Structure 1
Amino acid sequence: MRTSSNPVFRNLPKQGGGGYATFGTATAGASQAAQQFGQPATAADPYRTGPTSRSMTIDDVVTKTGITLGVLAVTAIVSYLLVDNNGDLAVPFVVGGGLIGLVLVLVAVFGKKMDNKALVLAYAVAEGFFLGALSFMFTDISFGGAGGSTLIAQAVLGTFGVFFGMLVVYKTGAIRVTPRLTRMIVGALIGVVVLALGNLVAGFFMDGGLGLRDGGPVAIIFSLVCIGIAAFSFLLDFDQADQLIRAQAPEKAAWGVALGLTITLVWLYVEILRLLSYFNSD
């Protein structure tokens, strides 16, 4: 059974046998998808998820993801401008936005509210404030004199370049999502999280911690590894979203897909921006 490295996608509807719904079990998959997202499926028509609802399509995923990213981008711009006018807002926006975003993701995952439109858009707003302020901190002169708006534009282009590149890789089947690949990616993700936490704790006792975020050679390698893992995580996310569509989940489930993809995009953008700041710092 394949599972995604993204916690949001781990709550996809499953078959009774433990696997995810596939083409061979469309009826069971659709029925459980409807139950998963709080809409009953009747015995007479297991695909019906409500009087006016319909099954999710790829267009729904694209539309919801676009709306979520649009809200995040607008909020990030507002956040950046506010911090640019008042540098004292940088830390509150980064800490507050990051913590609120984390809480909303936990509520979505453990409360099984991934399809809640208001929650997804609230996450986009919180992460927008986080990313706007963090982008300013990485590019402001007091943090090394990096390339400002040019550096941010490079990070954005790099992020979506990786995203669309991995989408092409997935659609063409150049890299197949197998249980072995999934285990490798999830294991690598756990490894970088442990290292990052260890570096944070070490930072309280020694200058620079373990050297994973100080801009040196080790930090550059660590950021490259994180970018690679984030990129391959897209393959798992695409696969899980594809299976949710096959299970004929309700249309509103696309909000959950949008949330999961946005989480990975945010992580990838932060790592790319961090790496670029290393090369542009004095």
Structure 2
Amino acid sequence: MRSSNPVFSRRGFSRDTGYAGFNAPPQAGAAANPYAGANPYAQGGNPYADPTNPYAQGQPATQAPPQYTPQTRPMTMDDVVARTGMTLGTVIAGATVGWIFLTGSLGFAIGAGLVAMVLALVQSFKRKPSPALILGYAALEGLFLGALSGYINGLPNMNGAPMQAVLGTMAVFVAMLVAYKTRIVRVTARFTRFVLIAAMGFVLLSLVNVLFMAFGGGEGLGFRSGGLGIVFGIVGVVLGALFLALDFKQVEDGIAYGAPREESWLAAFGLTLTLVWIYMEMLRLISILRGD
């Protein structure tokens, strides 16, 4: 199942298509796992299956064991949780700095947000995860979110809106995780196509709205206020929740099929992107509701 998340879809990370070319037809005697053909721990690549190894296949110790070659162990849930905690912790730290020092300097904060977007795009098109890029994105995105949230919190009738958005984002995450684990939400090919089409429509409408605001002035198509803005905000939050289901699916498949440990950085990156999206949509929705 190919994810709509650009981090994973770029790499073909799925049960259906395999990960990074690992989904080759199984060779004779190989395991049924589609990654067995290229998995370093599969039969053909395991250093402990080497015939010169005295412990391999019960052979007698007639030869010296080969020199040890480090192997990348498969990704585990602990790896994903640890990397996600590091990435989200960096976002929170950046947001704290932005809230305290950059609330009055939105220009600088917007610049940090644009650089964060560039770093996210660069990482999305890299073949291997770069922890430096991912943490750099998290720090700059945190600065932007913190400054923007502090600014909105200081507006009339908006005190406490960012905290409500944080709580709402956490609620969406927990609800979707429970729905996914209990199989209330099932990620199928049809589900993925629906989310992709809906997301493309949402992004296109958002871009058209920005163009109308830039060249026509005012509220553009009205997606930032009133009843239409509320509906658009709800759709954005729902789409973010559906993207979470796709992210959970990719993590589950990566663990099941023995993706390399370094892929846990991509899992953390994808989850962070989705949670930032949900928070932004939640903050916009709350701002519209409290501003009316």
TM over 0.5: yes
- 1:38 maps to which residue? none
Aligned 8 A contact 1:29 1:248 in 2: no
Look up the match of 1:37: none
**Per the alignment, in what secondary structure is the counterpart of residue 79 of structure 1?**
helix
Separation of aligned partners in 1, 2:161 and 2:13: 42
Change beyond 3 A, Cα 1:92–1:14: closer
Q: What is the Cα deviation at residue 248 of structure 1?
A: 1.1
Q: Hey, what does 2:72 align to over in structure 1?
A: 53
Higher relative contact order (CA 8 A, sep 6+): 1
Counterpart of 2:241 in 1: which secondary structure? helix
Which residue is 1:25 aligned to? 34
Determine whether 1:240 maps to 2:244.
Answer: no
3-state SS of paired residue (2:102): helix
Is the counterpart of residue 121 in structure 1 residue 135 in structure 2? yes
CA distance in 2, matches of 1:132, 1:154: 14
Aligned amino acid, residue 4 of structure 1: S
User: Please, which of 73, 89, 98 is the counterpart of residue 79 of structure 1?
Assistant: 98
Q: Is 1:277 the counterpart of 2:287 in the alignment?
A: yes
1:186 is paired with a residue whose SS is helix
Deviates more, 1:221-230 or 1:129-138: 129-138
Cα distance change of structure 1 residues 24 and 265 upon mapping to structure 2, 3 Å threshold: same
Distance (whole Å) between structure 2 residues aligned to residue 45 and residue 104 of structure 1:
36
Following superposition, the deviation at residue 280 of structure 1 comes to 1.7
The alpha-carbon deviation at position 29 of structure 1 amounts to 6.3
Name the SS for the 1:25 alignment partner.
coil
* Mapping 1:6-155, distance limit 5 Å: 6-12=5-11, 18-19=17-18, 24-28=33-37, 30=39, 43-45=44-46, 51=70, 53-84=72-103, 87=104, 89-93=105-109, 95-113=110-128, 115-141=129-155, 145-148=156-159, 150-155=160-165
Matched to 1:27, the amino acid is A
Q: Deviations over 1:5-35 (max 9, x none)?
A: 210111345589845678742413635xx9x
Distance 1:281 1:161 in 2: 22
In the alignment, is the contact (CA less than 8 A) between 1:27 and 1:47 conserved in 2? Answer: no
Q: In 1, distance between residues paired with 2:270 and 2:240?
A: 12
Unaligned ranges ≥5, structure 2: 24-31, 50-68
- Given that 2:95 and 2:144 are in contact with CA atoms closer than 8 Å, whether structure 1 keeps it comes out as yes
Separation in 1 of the partners of 2:8 and 2:14?
A: 15
Taking structure 1 as reference, are residues 19 and 54 closer, same or farther at Cα in structure 2, changes over 3 Å only?
closer
Q: 1:280 and 1:166 mapped to 2: Cα distance?
A: 26
Q: Is the 8 A contact 2:14 2:254 kept in 1?
A: no
Q: 1:89-238 counterparts in 2 under 5 A?
A: 89-93=105-109, 95-113=110-128, 115-141=129-155, 145-148=156-159, 150-206=160-216, 207-213=218-224, 215-238=225-248
Superposed, 1:239-278 pairs within 5 Å as 239-278=249-288
Rg larger in structure: 2
Q: Which residue of 2 aligns with 1:4?
A: 3
Partner Cα distance (2:119, 2:228) in 1:
33
Which segments of structure 1 move beyond 4 Å, counting only runs of 4 or more? 13-17, 19-23
Relative to structure 1, the CA distance from residue 17 to residue 258 in structure 2 (aligned partners, 3 Å threshold; closer, same or farther) is closer
SS in 2 for 1:249: coil
Q: CA deviation at 1:43?
A: 3.6
Write 1 or 2 for the structure with the bigger share of helix. 1
- Structure 1 residue 200 displacement after superposition: 0.4
1:99–1:262 distance in 2 versus 1, CA, 3 Å: same
Unaligned runs of 5+ in 1: 35-40
Give the secondary structure class of the aligned counterpart of 2:288. Answer: helix
Asked if the contact 2:230–2:285 (Cα under 8 Å) also holds between the matched residues in 1, the reply is: yes
Does the 8 Å contact 2:161/2:283 carry over to 1? Answer: yes
The AA in structure 2 aligned to 1:133 is A
Q: Which amino acid aligns with 2:108?
A: P
- CA pair 202-47 structure 1, distance change in 2 beyond 3 A: farther
Distance in 2, Cα, partners of 1:147 & 1:46: 61
Aligned residues: percent identity?
Answer: 41
